[in-house]
Homo-oligomer: A and B are copies of this chain.
Amino acid sequence: MAQKFVYFYGNGQAEGRADMKNLLGGKGANLAEMTSIGLPVPPGFTITTEVCTEYYKNNSTYPALLAAEVAANLKEVEKLMGRTFGDPQNPLLVSVRSGARASMPGMMDTILNLGLNDTTVQGIISQSGDERFAYDAYRRFVQMYSDVVMGMDKHVLEHLLEEKKHEKGVHLDTELSASDWKDLVAAFKAAIKEVLGVAFPEEPEAQLWGAISAVFGSWMNQRAITYRRLNNIPAEWGTAVNVQSMVYGNMGDDCATGVAFTRDPSTGENYFYGEYLVNAQGEDVVAGIRTPQPINRAKATVLPPMEEVLPECYKQLASIRDILEKHYKDMQDIEFTIEKGKLFMLQTRNGKRTAPAAIKIAVDMVREGLIDEKTAVLRVAPSQLDQLLHPSLDPKAKKDIIAKGLPASPGAVSGEVIFTADEAEAEAKTGRKVILVRVETSPEDIHGMHAAQGILTARGGMTSHAAVVARGMGKCCVAGCGDIKVDYASQCFTTRNGTVVKRGDIITLDGSLGEVILGEVPTVSPQLTGDFAQLMQWADKYRTMKVRTNADTPHDSKVAREFGAEGIGLCRTEHMFFDAERIAAVREMILSEELEGRELALAKIMPMQKGDFIGIFREMKGLPVTIRLLDPPLHEFLPQEERDIEELSKTMKVPVNAIKHKIESLHEFNPMLGHRGCRLGITYPEVYNMQVRAIMEAACELVKNEGFSIVPEIMIPLIATVKELSVLKQNAVEICDEIIAQYGVKVEYLIGTMIELPRAALTADEIATEAEFFSFGTNDLTQTTFGLSRDDAGKFLPFYVDNGILPEDPFVSLDQAGVGKLVKMACELGRSTRANIKLGICGEHGGDPASVIFCHNIGLDYVSCSPFRVPVARLAAAHAAIAK
């Protein structure tokens, strides 16, 4: 069978289906599906994504049979519409839109009213009986087409429009007459000819193919490439092209256009949430030029809702909402147009939503019987939880509210006011927190929105570019804040009450309330109850991999348990050494040249260490706790500043020069690869011996006195060879067994190692002869596998990511092809020697969803991450288990 390039839909019949998104793109597949289930969709056809792929493969040429297929499908549309493309009397006009597999809001270019020329415009006049409407549509088409297809500088035509208004002494487009628009069409065409040297195409067929090529071309424009990179979308997917007969929301007051969500995308409330504009084209709603109005009575503000203005249409739309939710079993984001009282559906897709909305919708839909628990779990992206796990504004804090806008995307953030995306990106790179403030945002601003903590816009509604993109990114956003007047030239904005906020001033945004607050406001931790707790309970039900936390204090341990941690995967002991009371003893130890002096100093630290462990063990109530013995090089504990050295000299009664000499002798060219980890344990066994003693005495004391059950896991860091581990393990076992005998209790314990050097991974079979568990230290493993110092990579790593040399920062998401391969190899080797070896990961990757899924797939027993990431990891682990 020959390859089919074009899929038709119209009049209740469609060649495509919703599950053909890969071939037809999201928009095309859903237009076909809606047609099939009997919804009113203007007829049209979709050119497949395969054509896009072929197009780029074959040096921007189309498959030979494409032209004939397009012509045949266009005939079908003409038949259904009773109009003919290019016909002077009764012309068919079409829209041409892109439609990729994954929704890419604002990224692709759209052309409306295609098919208009000086002849067919007459047909539209007679069809509509509205000359002004016809010429307005015509000039819109010329503007859009010349911009998108021909590459004309749009400001030239906008300038002509401004001149016309000036000439006519009017301020608004709506004040221009039919003949004004007619003049402008002619002026536009003349300017295009003059600037570009080619005439605006009159022939509708030429217009159509120009538009199709522009859609395919836009797949490779910089915005699209950036978006795909940020969202890990491969270029090979391609886009489809949707050609659809036009319907008009701007033919008068019985016309309208709008967008809606079948539930509230911000809160998840089961409530029909939408906005519309009377007598407007669809692009007007999305672009945020006029601020649209709520569709239903309950949310109505100043202007009447669609429920009152167009009650029949509203009723029809509300019933379509029910049909769509039952059909798709998910919250839908729809676009509609009402042409002279007749409702048309232009799009449906799964709606983007905030994390709280995602959770509420998923849980509600299980209760409503629409979806099952597993589906509900999969409906919430683990990375989205981040939003929920971030703090909100402290309700007890004073707030100097200077403006209010729409609560477009929740969260609470503070930062310096910045007015351009480029500057926002530049400032963020230096580590500053910034709030991007714009009149409105456009796709050109995406990189700045990405870099900013939050976004504030003066114009646009809840479905404006800023709002949609911010929600997708999980960024806090206050949109449509008419209270502020932005002055780019003076680099400031002024509020209604006259407050002037300049570039660099700190403001706080509350995205859940739409508040703009002067200065920084303290925040409080989130409450994770209700629907959130329900969803996490389902996640835990289906998840098989455990989630632990990295915590060094009883307080962190407590927080992590509240977030659902099932143990501690990494308790770093060096942080305990920095405590003010202890650092003196630590320094005394380092400055002692003899073993005896070091042991004396360690004896001072020992009871404090033991206290640390008692506190943590108690907090974890018998859950497993992995304690890493001292890891950093000793010089980290000595002061660097002259003043501090002098002070140390005084308190320690050691000459300044002796301290300086010690500091010098401990200096390392590459401390990351130096005398640290188990290498300290080998050369100064007394340090590890003290720590092991503190751990076991703490455990034995709790077991003996408080009836605890506890199995401490002693982790020896930076092992490169099994011999290191066997020497240190033997020391540790001797001490543990001695203490257990001394306390006369039964305490089991495990001794294992961090796998954080490539050599350890490569020889994991040997190391597993001694190690009872492996914990992958993927931070250091990434550093050594890449030969990349995390502290130094700032000079080139961002460049690498920006230029696609690395798909992502490998310290954020585990490099599965390289580091991940080592981890997998080590798991297999380790299990080949010790079948029941406990395997976990304790690098920061343990809280990154993609990395967690990888860990599940290679069969780790647990991941461990920072307390606030524990729910993210739990959900990601559930996704992995359900997907398998």
Contact = CB atoms under 8 A, between A and B. Distances in A.
Given A720-B786, A784-B784, 10 more contacts: A670-B792, A682-B796, A721-B806, A727-B805, A758-B758, A758-B784, A759-B786, A759-B787, A763-B821, A784-B785
Contact of A815 (B683, B759, B766, B819): B759
B674 A792 contact: yes
B784 A818 contact: no
A668 B668 CA distance: 12
Given A670-B672, A721-B805, A762-B821, A757 B787 contact: yes
Given A762-B818, A784-B758, A683 B791 contact: no
Given A683-B799, A799-B683, A819-B759, A787 B720 contact: yes
Contact of A669 (B787, B791, B804): B791
Contacts of A815: 759
Interface string A754-769: 0011110011001000
Nearest to A805: B723
A693 to B, nearest CB: 23
A576 to B, nearest CB: 24
B792 A675 contact: yes
A800 B682 contact: yes
Contact of A673 (B672, B683, B806): B672
A36 interface: no
Given A723-B804, A805-B721, A806-B723, A669 B818 contact: no
Copies in the complex: 2
A518 to B, nearest CB: 36
15 contacts: A668-B789, A668-B791, A670-B670, A670-B789, A673-B673, A673-B783, A674-B792, A675-B796, A679-B796, A682-B796, A683-B795, A720-B786, A723-B806, A757-B786, A759-B818
A669 B803 CA distance: 25
A758 B819 CA distance: 9
Contacts of A756: 787
Nearest to A766: B817
A683 B801 CA distance: 12
B671 A805 contact: no
A788 B683 contact: no
A795 B675 CA distance: 7
A713 interface: no
A54 interface: no
Contacts of A795: 674-675, 683
A853 interface: no
Contacts of A686: none
A719 B107 CA distance: 34
A674 B720 CA distance: 22
Nearest to A674: B792
A844 interface: no
A672 B791 CA distance: 12
Interface string A768-799: 00000000000010011111110111011001
Looking at A784, A791, A821, the one whose CB has the most chain B CB atoms below 10 A away is A784
A671 B795 CA distance: 12
Contact of A718 (B672, B787, B817, B818): B787
A828 interface: no
Main secondary structure on A side of the interface with B: helix
A134 B805 CA distance: 87
A822 interface: yes
A591 to B, nearest CB: 16
A864 to B, nearest CB: 21
Contacts of A727: 805
A763 B785 CA distance: 11
A15 interface: no
A799 B682 contact: yes
Interface string A473-489: 00000000000000000
Contacts of A721: 805-806, 818
B669 A789 contact: yes
A766 B804 CA distance: 16
Interface string A715-759: 000101101100100000000000000000000000000001111
Nearest to A780: B787
Contacts of A723: 804-806
Interface residues of A, number: 49
Contacts of A785: 757-759, 762, 784
A762 B826 CA distance: 13
A134 to B, nearest CB: 52
A804 B803 CA distance: 47
A556 to B, nearest CB: 27
B674 A758 contact: no
A137 to B, nearest CB: 47
Contacts of A766: 817
Contacts of A792: 668-671, 673-675
Nearest to A724: B805
Interface in A679-723: 679, 682-683, 718, 720-721, 723
A827 to B, nearest CB: 15
Contacts of A817: 762-763, 766
Contacts of A720: 786-788, 818
B789 A673 contact: yes
A679 B798 CA distance: 12
Contacts of A718: 787
A786 B759 CA distance: 6
Nearest to A791: B669
Contacts of A819: 759
A793 B674 CA distance: 6
A407 to B, nearest CB: 41
Interface in A69-124: none
A805 B682 contact: yes
Interface string A343-363: 000000000000000000000
A763 B672 contact: no
Nearest to A633: B792
Contacts of A763: 817-818, 821
Contacts of A800: 682
Contacts of A791: 668-670
A666 to B, nearest CB: 9
A795 B723 CA distance: 18
A755 to B, nearest CB: 11
A725 to B, nearest CB: 10
Nearest to A799: B683
A821 B819 CA distance: 16
Given A788-B720, A792-B675, A805-B721, A822 B757 contact: no
A100 B783 CA distance: 46
A679 B159 CA distance: 47
Q: Which 6 A-B pairs have the closest CB atoms?
A: A673-B789, A670-B789, A759-B818, A758-B758, A757-B787, A674-B792
Interface in A620-675: 668-675
Given A682-B799, A723-B804, A805-B721, A673 B788 contact: yes
